[in-house]
Amino acid sequence: EAKAALTSLPGVGPKVAACACLFSLDKHAAVPVDTHVWQLAVEHYTPELEGKSLTPKLMEKVEDAIVGVFGEYAGWAHNTLFVAELAHVRASLPEELRTPPRAKVVKKEKREAGSGAKAESKQESDAESDPVAKKRKE
């Protein structure tokens, strides 16, 4: 209800409304969704949304997914995850508290001329070299 009232104001979108709800109105389940939170959510909670554009409707789906995982304090859980993903914070965390590294797309070199094969791409995960990720798999 508070978020709906806030977004009815000129210039207030879903993210700003969620920030106001979480940080000023004691709405602990409010999750401000921006591109960074979107990336976290797609990676860990809503992989089916990968490749889609971030719209207000999808922001709501992301918020619902995070609330589904973390419950009534999802906004604060989101805040902790967001801060933990900042490079300088991530670097200072012990390895066992870091989220697993993101998979990277690496393009293979073109094959010898004359083979007619196009460059291929493959998923290469840094998790192979990450001891925490290996431990989680076991």
> Annotated catalytic residue: which of 3, 15, 108, 110?
15
Annotated active-site residue 15? The verdict is yes
Residue keyed to tokens 């999808």: 58
CB 4 within 8 A of CB 13: no
**3-class secondary-structure state, position 34:** coil
Cα end-to-end distance, the chain, whole Å: 44
Cα pseudo-dihedral 38, 98, 132, 120, rounded to 10: 40
* Active centre residues (catalytic): 15
